[in-house]
Structure 1
């Protein structure tokens, strides 16, 4: 067996311990696997720097630890210069418009809560949930004419409450 084979065999026998150490650093199985793989890759590239007769485990653990420290520094630099991925979803986000929509929603919800139960129920099912008149009538066990009249009265009351008047 050659010197190169002995190094590879010794490295292979260290993998479970190396992964456990990587997991103790990262506290995440996927990150631990990546870290251990990077450490093995670095060890194989740098095998000529290993001094035969010294402890391979200490050398590998040092490589792993240094890689983890480098990863932490990289994440810190990235966090300082890059916005989190969620921020991309907010590009062009108008905070004032969101506040206005929120206030409008609160006004509408307040007007909805002021409706009598039977009107609120029909308005909610048809106007908010998108059910048809027939589905709503079947769901509530009412004649379709009753659903229709409750919807008209509910919409009229909502419009009046919201300042839209009954003629809209």
Structure 2
């Protein structure tokens, strides 16, 4: 898969970069012709939760692009200085204003075309008081039958929810790993 080069200028000195394969490497990198700094482009981590109450899952209706107006699990980009679990908790508070108890890593999904890794944790809602942040239009609790399947924002959310409801039927939850191409 070829990626569009995203780095335009050297982060060290501001010179426009050139893409080349460094002598000690095996792939093309953004290299500064002035200071020789090599810049690496790595996947971004998206962390979130599958917050549940009894037989229902909490979803957030997005108030931002991409996919504004569609439903998603509370999730977002991991920040420097936090663990994946800390990021998932933070995103759940920021997007849904929900208090949760994490129950373990649940899905690990490689989103190859976007250069992202999505990690969702199972979570139990502590109560039904929510205070959605500015990135969320509204939150809702949905059973499997009432879930807005045709209005989900991302494939990783669909895969995670399909897996969750299938596992809920059996009562056996394990970590799921998959690829979105």
Q: TM-score w.r.t. structure 2 length? A: 0.22
Higher relative contact order structure (alpha carbons within 8 Å, sequence separation ≥ 6) = 2
Structure of higher CA gyration radius: 1
Q: Where is the strand percentage greater, Structure 1 or Structure 2?
A: 2
